[in-house]
Amino acid sequence: MIFDPDVDTVKKGPWLIFSMVLFFGMFGPTEIPYYWFGYFVVLGLCFGAVIFLVGGCESYLVFVVAMFLSVFGVLCFFLSSMLYFFVSNIFGSGLKALVVALSPMLLVSTMVVSAMASKSKIFKFDIVGNKVANRTHKREGSKYLGLVIAILTLLSGGLLKAIGPFYSGLVVTVAATLGCTAIVFYFRHTIRGLRTLHIQEQSTSTPYTFMQIEKIREARRRWWMGRLFKWIASLHKSPV
C-alpha cells in the first residue's frame, strides 16, 4: 500500500508508476507540437526517480508523496487525454477543448490541495522514534477502490448498449474522474496527516523514515537497483 510501504512496495511500486507513465503517455494528445519529445523527457525523469525511490530513498514523506501524486497524476493525465479526444470531436480541436479536457486534473488537484490545506482532526499514523506507519486498513482501502472499479465497469457495459461507444466513453471518463475524487476524499485524513508529519519533521529536524527501514536496507543490498544507486551516489561524492 502507498501509505504504509514495505519491502515489496518499495521494490515494485515505482516500477508500476513508470509502466503507467509509459503506457498512458501513448494515449496523449499526440497532435500537440513536440508531444513525443516531452513524452521521452518525462520518461527519462521518471526512470531517474525510480532509481532513487527503489534504490536509495529513506524518507517516508518523499516516497509516499511521490508515489501518491504520481498515481493520481498519471490517471488524471489519461482521463484528460481521453476527455480531450471526446470533446475535440464535439467542439473541434482548440482552446475550448483543451480547457474542458483539463477539468479532471483541476478537479482532483483541488481535492488534494483542499485535503492538505485543512486541519487534520484524525491522525492516522503511528510514530516510533523517527519511524512512521499508517493505520489505514488495507482491506478497507482495497474494498473501496474495487467498488469504484466495479461500478465503472458495469456503467460502461450498460451505456455501451444504450447510447453507443462514443458517448458511453465520454460518460465513463467523467465517472472515472468523479471516482478519483471520491478516493481522494476517502483518504483525506491520511493526506492531512502527511501535512502534519511534514510540519513535525521541520520542527524537530528529524527526517521520518519507514517503519520497516531495516528490512528495506537489507533488501536493497541484494537488489541491482540498490547497488546501481549506491554506485551513482559514490560518483557524485567522489572528488573531481
| Residue 25 within a domain | yes
Which cell numbers in the block locate residue 7? 519491502
33: in domain: yes
User: 180-204 as b/e, with b when 16 or more CB fall inside 10 Å?
Assistant: bbebbebbbbbbbbbbebeeebeee
- pLDDT band of residue 90 (cuts 50, 70, 90) is confident
Which three cell numbers, joined as nine digits, stand for 124? 492516522
CB of 184 within 8 A of CB of 115?
yes
pLDDT digits (tens, 9 = 90+) for 181-221: 888 888 888 899 999 999 999 888 888 999 999 999 999 99
Range of the domain at 155: 7-237
Is position 1 within any domain? no
The model's pLDDT over 155-176, given as tens digits with 9 standing for 90+, comes to 555 555 555 555 666 777 888 8
pLDDT digits (tens, 9 = 90+) for 210-225: 999 999 999 999 998 8
Kindly tell me if the per-residue pLDDT of 27 is higher than 50. yes
Q: For 36-55, how does the pLDDT look when each residue is reduced to its tens digit (9 = 90+)?
A: 999 999 999 999 999 999 99
**Separation in Å, CA 42 to CA 30, 37, 70, 164, 190:** 15, 9, 12, 35, 28
**Beta partners for residue 126, in sequence order:** 133
Mean pLDDT of 146-156: 56
197 domain residue, yes or no = yes
pTM reported for the whole predicted model? 0.83
pLDDT score at 240 = 47
Domain total in the chain: 1
Q: Which residue has the higher pLDDT, 86 or 7?
A: 7
**Is 2 domain-assigned?**
no
